[in-house]
Structure 1
Amino acid sequence: MSDFEKLGAFYLGKRVDKQDGALLDELVLYDAKDLTTHAFCVGMTGSGKTGLCVSLLEEAAIDGVPAIVIDPKGDLGNLALRFPELRAEDFLPYIDPGEASRKGHTPAEHATSVAAQWREGLAKWGQDGERIRRFRDAAEVVLYTPGSQIARPISIMRSLSAPPAALRDDVDGLRERVMGAVGGLLGMLGIEADPVRSREHIFLSNLLESAWRAGEDVSLADLVRRIQAPPFTRVGVMDLESFYPAKDRASLALGVNSILASPGFSAWLEGEPLDVGRLLRREDGHPRISILSIAHLDDAQRMFFVTLLLNEVIAWMRTQSGTSSLRAILYMDEVFGYLPPVANPSSKAPMLTLLKQARAFGLGVVLATQNPVDVDYKALSNCGTWLLGRLQTERDMARVLDGLAGASTATGAGFDRAAMEARLAGLQGRQFVLNNVHDAGPDLFQTRWALSYLRGPLTRDQLRALSRDGAAGVAAPSNSAAPSAVLAASQGSGVGGTSPASAAPDEPRPVLPAGITEQFLGGVDGCRYHAGLLMTLSLHYKHARTSTDVWQQASFIAPTLGRDPTETLASVEAHAVENLPLRDAPAPNARFAPLPAGSVTDKSWSALEKAIKAKAHREMGVTLYECKALSLWSASGEDHASFVARVQQGLREQRDVDMGKLRAKFEPKLTRLNERIARAEQKVIDEKGQVRQRQMDTAVNVGTTVLGALLGSRSVARAGTAVRSASRISREQQQVEAAEQTLASLQEQLAELEAEFQSSLSALAAQQPNVDIAEVVVRPTKSDLSVSRLDLLWIQE
C-alpha cells in the first residue's frame, strides 16, 4: 500500500459484486484531489457512516492533509484512539464496562477480545499496527471543547475582531461575516432574527460593520457600550430613535451583558484563540486533526460557535493562494439543523459560501448526516462525491435520490434513478455507493477496517485524559519568520521591575543633561518612580535571493537602568509605544529612586546607543526558510508553520500534476486494450456458440443417415452431408482456438501494461522528495540600523 499512500489515493474499502453482493479483492481508491469538489455522506444509524468518515480522515492524515472536525455527537474523538502495538492494555481505559458486562466479560477480558478483534479486522483488510503508527506519526489529533474545560478550551475573544484588510475590502465577504456573527450572537440571546426584517439584526449588523470597516476590534463589553451609544444617528433613511429607540436598545444591551456576566460564559474566553491556521497545523508545521466537540453545548451555543468557526474558516481561506490540490478538510459529522432547506439559521450562509467557493482554495468540505430529509439539497449540488449507505425509510430514499439527481444535473453527469434506487435498496451494513462525478459511474463497496478504535462517544474523563496526553506532545513554538525578534535573551513578565536602588532613600527629581529626554510610565499621587529605558529602533533587512527588503520600527523597554549598558540591556521587553500610558510629567508628589552613578550622562547615553545597535545586529535577525528540493524560500513575515504548509502543498500540487501525466499516458492504452479484450471475449463466446450449433446439426444428420439406411431411403446423400458438417466443425473449432489465443494474447498485454503502470507508480512514489527545510538568519544591515528614540523612562513601582 505504500505506493498509493504517497500518491494521494485514499483507501476506503473493497468493491462489492453488484450481482451477488460478494466482496471482491479490488481496492476502492479515492483520489484526494476529487475531495476539493466536496463530499456528502448519508446513512442511517448502524450503516457504518461514522466508520467510513473516520477512515476518510485517517487517509487524509496519512497523506499529510490537516482537518478541522466539528463533532456534535462526540463520536469523532475516537480518532485519538490509535494503538500501533494493539495491546489489550492500550484498549482497556476506553472499554465500556456495560458492554463488557453484557458479554459476560470483565473489562480486562473484553479489552483482550477487542484487541484481538482489531488485529484480525485490520489483517483482513491488508492493514496492521505499522499503518496505525504511520497515521499517528502523520498528524497530531487535538481535542477541543469550546465553552468548557473538559478538554482544551477555545477562546472566542477574536471572534468579533476586525477581519483582515483584504476581507474588509470585499463587500460581499464582509457582509456575510457580519451577518454570521450577528446571527450567532442573537441565537445565544434566544432571538430568531430575520436578517432582512429584524431590528436587532439590522442594528447590530450596522454596528459591527461600521467598526470593522474602520479596522476596530469589538469585544462583547465594547458591544454593550456601543449598543447604548452607537456611533451613527441614522439607519437607512430613518433616524436611529425612530428605528430603534434607546429604551429597546437598553433591553438588547442588557441581554448581551447578561451573557457576558454569566458564570458559564467565562469558559468561552479561556484557552487557545479560535485560529484556523493553528487548528490545522502545529507551530512546527506538522498537520493536525482538530476535533471540536460541541456535544456538551445547548442548541443555541452550538449554532453560535459553529457560525463563528465557519466565518473564521472563510476568513482564513481567503488569505490562501488558489490551488487545484487538496489543502485541508472541514468535516461536520451531523449537518442536520445547520443547512436546512427552508429556514435560514446563522450557520447556513457561511456554509453555502464554503460549498461554493472553497474548491478554488483547495479546501474540501465533507458533510454527513443520518437525517437526509432536512438538508438543503440545492446547496449539496455543489458536492461532487456522494457516499450513500443504508437508509431508514422510503421517504429518506426518495429525498436522497432527488438530491442526487439535482447534483448530477448540476455537473452534467448522467443519472439512472431506477438503477441507483435498486442499489440503495439492497445495501447491507458497511456497504456504500460511491457516486463521484470524476468517475465513469457509481461504485458499490464495503468500507475497510478503521485504524482508530471506534468505541463510541468518549466520557468526560476520557476526553480530559486524551487532552492531557495530546498537550504533552505539542512542540514548542518556533521562532517567527517575521522581523520582530526579541532583542534580549530573556524577558520580564511586564513593565516595572524592581529598581536596584529600591531600598535606597528617595531623591529629588534629577536634572538631566540637555540632550536626554524623559518620559513617565503611569503614576498616581505620591507614587515612587525608578529609572528604566525606552528605545525605538529602525531596522532594515535585505536578502538578495528572496528579494527581501523590509524596514521595521521596533520599540523596547529596559525595566531597570543599570550602571553600564550590559546591565541595562540584560533584560528588555518589546512594547507598542502607542499602547503605553506615557506622560510628559510625573504624578503629583512623586518620589524618585536614585539613579546609578554615572548612568545618565552624554557619554553614557552615547555608549548605550552603541551597545543597543550592536545587540540589535547580533540578536534581531529574522529567520528565513529554504526548501532546496522545490527551490522555495519563505516570504517576509511568513512563519515556519506557514512555510511548511506551503512546501507540502507545493509537493502535493506537483504530485497531482505528475499523476495527471501518468493517467494521460496510460488511460487511453488501457481503455483501447479493454475494448479489444471485450470484443475478443465476445468473439470466443460467439465461436463456441457456432461450434455447439454445428455439433447439434451434425448429430441430427448422422442420426438421419442411420435411420435412412435402416429404412432404405437416400442414405448416400445424407452421409455426405454429415461428413461435410463434421469438416465444418473442425474448422470452426480451430476458429475458437484462434479466438482464445487472441484473447489470451490481449490479456497478457493487459497484464504487461498494468505491470508497467505499477512500475511507473512506484518510480513516482520514490521520487517524492523529503522535505528538508533550512534556516537562514538575516541580520539588520549595520549601515541602516539606527536608534530613533532613546528616553530615560521613569516607571511607577
Structure 2
Amino acid sequence: MVEPTSDSDESDSWGLDGLLEEQEDSTAGDFSAAVREAVTGAGVGDAASDARIAALAASSAVAGGAGGMVAPEIQATKARPAVAEVKPRRRKSKRMLLGTRRDTGKELAISPTILSRHAAMLGSTGSGKTVMAKALIEEAALAGIPCLILDPQGDLARLALGIDEQDLRDHDGDLKRRARLLDMAEVRLWTPLRSKGLPICIDPFVAPPDGLDAEEAITAWDMVAAGFTGLADYDAEKASGKQVKTYIYEIMVHGTRLELPVGDFQSLAKAVRDPHELFTRLLYPECYYDVEDDEEKVAVPDWDEVMAEHLLPHYEDMLPRNTRNELARRLSAYSSGVNQLLFSNGVPINFDTFIEPVERGKVPLNIIYLNTIQDDAQKQYFVQEIARGLYDWMLTQQPAEGELKLLFFMDEVAPYLPPYPRNPPAKDLIKLIFKQARKYGVACVLATQNVSDVDYKILAQANTTFIGRFTQPQD
C-alpha cells in the first residue's frame, strides 16, 4: 500500500489518481483497463477484483455533461426497453455486522434503523475511524441503503478498490460476505473540477421543488440566496452580508415567479445591477417597440405601477447602487474562465442519480472526492450545495416508516461544522438536515479527529457514538 504524504496533496498518494485516470477519449472498456493497470501497478488488491471495481466506477449512473465521461453502457441502460430481462433481487442484510467483541468473541451487530437517529465517529489519527467508516458503509450497502459520502482526503474513496481476497483469507475474513458486497455495491467516484473519475458540478440556479408549504419555501429560497451571497464573498452574518442576501432573495424569488431570466450568472448580474430597468423591459416589452411616426408609443410605467401590478419590492431602496454594481461584478466573474468550471465541468448535483442504481438490485455508493477542489471557499460552497440538494430532495419524499432511504456520511467535518461563533456557509443547513433527516429516512453520520473543533450542538444530535483513542485532553 502506498502511504500518504500530505492531506492536501492533489497527486493523491493513495493510488486514487490511477483509479481516476483521465480517459476522455476512451470507451468504458478502455477506462476500466487503464484503471486496472494503474491500480495493479500500485500494488493494491488483485487484478480481477480491481477490474471489477474499476468497471463499477466507470459505469456509474451519469446522464451526461460538459467535460465529463459517460460510459456507453450507461447510455444503453437509459435506453433499455421496459421489456428487458428482469434480474432477481439481491438479498439485503437485516443487520449491520460491525465486528466482534473482545471479551466474548461474539459478533457485534446493529439494526440499520439505529442509524436513523444519526451517529458520530470520534477519535484521533490512527484510532481506526477510517476502518470503522468503511465497515459501516459496506454494511449499509449489504443492507440495501444507498450512500452519499463526502470524502475530503481520499480515505474513503479507496472503497472503489474493493477488498483484497488474499488479505481477507489471511485474516480469516468472510469470503462469502465479500462476494455479496462486490455483487451488490455500485461504487461511483465523483470528482468536482476534474474530468477524471465522474465529473460533477453545481447548478446554483436550481429552484426549490414545487409543492412546498410557505415556511418550507422561504427556508429553501433563503438557502439559494445564502449560496450566492457566500459565492460573492459576502459574510451573511454581518449587516452588509445580510442586506446582500435579502436583496438576492427578492431578485431570485420574484424573478423565478414571473419567469424572468435569472437562471445564469450573466442574467443574474444584470438583474442585480439595475433591476427596475431590466424587469420593466421584460414585463412590458411593448413599451420598447419601435413605432412608425404616425403611431402612438406605449408609455413606460413607473416602478410604483410595476410594483403594484406584479407585487414586487422597491429594489433600489434595498441596496445602494455602488454595492449593486460590485455585487454584479463579482457574480458575472463566474460566467467565464476557470471560475466557471465548478458550474460546468460534469453533471449537476442530482439526488435521484445518487439514489438510483444503473443495474436493478445494486446499491449506489456515491463518494464525492473533495480534494479535487483546492480553494477552501469553493469547497465550502460545494458542500453547502450538496446539503441544499439533500434538503430539497428530502422535502419531496414521503415520511419514512422505519426504512432508511439514504446514508449521508461526512468525513473530517471540523471545517464545515466548527463551534460558535464561527459559521461557515454549510453549517446552518447541515444542522437543519440533522434535525429533520430522520423523518425522511436519511441517516447522518459524521467523523472527526478533533472533537473540540466541532459544534457540540451537532454532536448532540448523534444518538450513536463510535469512540476511538484520544490524545488531546480537550477532546
In the superposition, the TM-score normalised over structure 1's length comes to: 0.41
Inter-partner Cα distance in structure 1 for 2:379 and 2:342: 14
Whether 2:323 is the aligned partner of 1:248: answer: yes
1:300 is aligned to 2:300: no
Residue of structure 1 equivalent to 2:169: 119
Mapped to 2, the partners of 1:367 and 1:195 lie a distance apart of 28
SS at match of 1:250: helix
TM alignment of 1:5-44, pairs within 5 A: 6-17=92-103, 24-44=104-124
Letter in 2 for 1:265: Q
User: What letter matches 1:350 in structure 2?
Assistant: L
Deviation at 1:237, TM superposition (A): 12
Contact 1:66 1:139 in 2 (8 A): no
CA contact (8 A) 1:148 1:268 kept: no
- Cα distance change of structure 1 residues 177 and 215 upon mapping to structure 2, 3 Å threshold: farther
**1:9–1:32 Cα contact (<8 Å) kept:** yes
User: Which residue does 2:207 correspond to in 1?
Assistant: 162
Partner Cα distance (2:425, 2:263) in 1: 19
Q: What displacement does 1:392 show?
A: 2.0
Q: 2:247 matched to which residue of 1? A: 203
Contact map agreement 1:39 1:386 (CA 8 A) in 2: yes
- Which amino acid is the alignment partner of residue 174 of structure 2? Q
- Please give the secondary structure, in 1, of the residue aligned with 2:438: helix
* Deviation for aligned residue 1:349: 1.9
1:189 positional shift = 3.3
Query: Structure 1 residues 35 and 221, CA, compared in 2 at 3 Å: closer, same or farther?
Result: same
* Alpha-carbon distance in structure 1 between the residues aligned to 2:466 and 2:218: 33
**Secondary structure of 1:165's aligned partner:** coil
Q: Which residue of 1 aligns with 2:156?
A: 76
Residues 1:250 and 1:264: Cα distance change in structure 2 (over 3 Å):
closer
Change (3 A) 1:283 1:224: farther
Offset at 1:314?
Answer: 1.0
- Compared CA separation, residues 7 and 54, structure 1 to 2 (3 A): closer
- Structure 1 or 2, whichever has the larger Rg, is 1
The Cα shift of 1:197 comes to 5.2
Q: Secondary structure at the match of 2:474?
A: helix
Alignment partner of 1:381 out of 460, 468, 471: 460
> In the alignment, what sits opposite 2:416?
338
Which amino acid is the alignment partner of residue 273 of structure 1? P
Residue 133 (structure 1) aligned with residue 213 (structure 2): no
> Which residue of 2 is the match for residue 229 of structure 1?
274
Give unmatched runs, 5+ long, in structure 1: 18-23, 87-114, 397-797
State the Cα distance separating 1:256 from its structure 2 match: 1.0
Given that residues 191 and 197 in structure 2 are in contact (C-alpha distance below 8 angstroms), is that contact kept between their aligned partners in structure 1?
Answer: yes
Q: Identity over the aligned pairs, expressed in percent? A: 31
Equivalenced residues, count: 349
C-alpha distance 278-393 of structure 1, shift in aligned 2 (>3 A): same
Whether 1:314 and 2:391 are equivalent positions in the alignment is yes
The equivalent residue for 2:263 is: 218
Q: Distance in 2 between matches of 1:386 and 1:211?
A: 45
Runs of 5+ unmatched residues, structure 2 = 1-90, 280-302
- Show the 5 A alignment for 1:352-751: 352-396=431-475
Change (3 A) 1:212 1:358: farther
| 1:283 positional shift | 4.4
Please tell me the residue identity of whatever aligns with 1:161: V
Q: Is the 8 A contact 1:66 1:288 kept in 2?
A: yes
Q: Which has the higher contact order (CA 8 A, sep 6+)?
A: 2
Q: 1:328 aligns with which of 399, 402, 406?
A: 406
Instruction: Please give the secondary structure, in 2, of the residue aligned with 1:25.
Output: coil
SS in 2 for 1:54: helix
- In structure 1, how many angstroms separate the alpha carbons of the residues matched to 2:330 and 2:221? 19
Answering whether residue 353 of structure 2 is matched by residue 281 of structure 1, we say: no
Deviation at residue 292 of structure 1 after TM alignment: 0.7
Cα distance in 1 between the residues matched to 2:214 and 2:136: 36
2: distance between equivalents of 1:9 and 1:72? 28
Q: C-alpha deviations, 1:68-95, integer Å up to 9, x for none?
A: 11111121111101156x3xxxxxxxxx
Q: Offset at 1:245?
A: 2.2
Amino acid at match of 2:330: G
- Written as runs of structure 1 = structure 2, the 5 A alignment for 1:86-125 is 86=165, 115=166, 117-121=167-171, 123=172
Shift of 1:25: 0.9
Return the letter of the residue paired with 2:228.
L
For residues 486-536 of structure 1, the C-alpha deviation after alignment (integer angstroms, 9 at most, x for no partner) is: xxxxxxxxxxxxxxxxxxxxxxxxxxxxxxxxxxxxxxxxxxxxxxxxxxx
Shift in Å, 1:242: 4.1
Deviation, structure 1 residue 267:
5.1
Letter paired with 1:211: G
Q: Which whole-Å CA distance do the structure 1 matches of 2:211 and 2:159 have between them?
A: 36
Measure, in 2, the Cα distance between the counterparts of 1:36 and 1:212: 35
Q: What letter is aligned with 2:266?
A: A
Encode CA deviations 1:250-299: one digit per residue, 9 max, x unaligned. Answer: 11111111122222423531322211010122245542111111112121
What is residue 429 of structure 2 aligned with on the other side? 350
Q: For residue 346 of structure 2, what is the amino acid of its counterpart?
A: G
Which TM-score applies when normalising by structure 2? 0.68
CA–CA distance in structure 1, aligned partners of residues 146 and 235 of structure 2: 35
Query: Alignment partner of 1:322: what SS?
Result: coil
CA distance 1:184–1:246, change in 2 (3 Å): same
Instruction: Sort the Cα spacing of 1:6 and 1:288 in 2 relative to 1 into closer, same or farther, 3 A.
Output: closer
CA offsets 1:95-148 (integer angstroms, 9 cap, x no match): xxxxxxxxxxxxxxxxxxxx5x44312x1xx412x3222112112100011122
Specify whether residues 322 and 192 from structure 1 end up closer, same or farther in structure 2 by C-alpha distance, changes over 3 A only. Answer: same
Question: Would you say the 8 A contact 1:36–1:326 is kept in 2?
Answer: yes
Aligned amino acid, residue 315 of structure 1: D
Q: Deviations over 1:304-343 (max 9, x none)?
A: 1111111111111111111222121111111112122212
Deviation sequence 1:621-673 (CA, Å, 0-9, x none):
xxxxxxxxxxxxxxxxxxxxxxxxxxxxxxxxxxxxxxxxxxxxxxxxxxxxx
Bigger mean CA offset, 368-377 vs 227-236: 227-236
Task: State the distance in 1 between where 2:314 and 2:259 align.
Answer: 25
Using the TM superposition, name which of 64-73 and 212-221 deviates more: 212-221
Determine the C-alpha separation between the residues in 1 that align with 2:188 and 2:312: 49
**Does the aligned pair in 1 maintain the 2:234–2:240 contact within 8 Å?**
no
* C-alpha distance in 1 between matches for 2:130 and 2:219: 31
Hey, what does 1:265 align to over in structure 2?
340
SS at 1:316 equivalent: helix
Structure having the larger proportion of residues in strand? 1
Counterpart contact for 1:69–1:330, Cα < 8 Å = yes
1:374, CA displacement in angstroms? Answer: 1.9
Shift of 1:196: 6.1
Maintained 8 Å contact 2:160/2:187: yes
**Aligned partner letter, 1:290:** N
Out of 366, 369, 392, the residue aligned to residue 290 of structure 1 is 366
RMSD over aligned Cα atoms: 2.6
CA contact (8 A) 2:151 2:370 kept: yes
Q: Which residue matches 1:597?
A: none
Q: Secondary structure at the match of 2:457?
A: helix
Q: Residues 62, 238 of structure 1: CA spacing in aligned structure 2 closer, same or farther, 3 A cutoff?
A: closer
Which residue does the alignment assign to 1:192? Answer: 235
- The residue aligned with 2:22 is none
